Amino acid sequence: MQVQTHVDIHSEWGIVAARQAGRKLAREIGFGSVDQARITTAISELARNIYLYANKGQIQIEEVTSSGKRGVKIIAVDEGPGIKDLRRVMEDGFTTSGGLGAGLPGVKRLMDDFNIDSELDAGTSITAIKWLR
């Protein structure tokens, strides 16, 4: 049983749609309110990054199971400018847009598994998973 949602991000309303979809799935799987808030916040960060830096992209949200564990997987894909220095974006306080610079390192802390792939001028793909305990 795979539940998958796909949200296109091309305006700020896409961010709202993505996190509502994420909250719904997290609730269905049985996450508590704190983890629901973590998952929605992570989706919000990733979706906002797409909107801010790449203008458009997609958020996919799906249920995953692995060795008896259930979880939520978020995949954020865009074809934007890419990230120049992957190590620096994972540092707290590093920002190119005047924001707080807490987005990506924050998502990594909010979720359990975190993986980022990026190629300059080709796009970025981020996968993050939160497991149900």
Binding residues for other proteins (CB under 8 A): 12, 15-16, 19, 33-34, 36-38, 40-41, 44-45, 48, 92, 99-100, 102-103, 105-106, 109-110
Q: How far is the CB of 129 from other proteins (least distance, A)?
A: 15
In whole angstroms, how close is the CB of 92 to other proteins at the nearest point? 5
Min dist. Cβ of residue 61 to other proteins (A):
15
Task: Using alpha carbons, list the distances in angstroms from residue 89 to 71, 94, 106, 124.
Answer: 26, 6, 11, 12
Residue 17 token pair: 């749609």
Minimum gap (Å) between residue 63 Cβ and other proteins: 21
CA angle 114, 83, 35 (to 5 degrees): 25
CA angle 26, 61, 53 (to 5 degrees): 120
Closer CB to other proteins, 15 or 119, in the complex: 15
Q: What is the 3-state secondary structure (H, E, C) of 79-109?
A: CCCCCCCHHHHCCCCCCCCCCCCCHHHHHHH
Q: Which two tokens stand for residue 71?
A: 């979880």
Whichever of 2 and 87 has its CB closer to other proteins, that residue is 87
> Cβ closer to other proteins: 44 or 58?
44
Of 68 and 93, which CB lies nearer to other proteins in the complex structure? Answer: 93
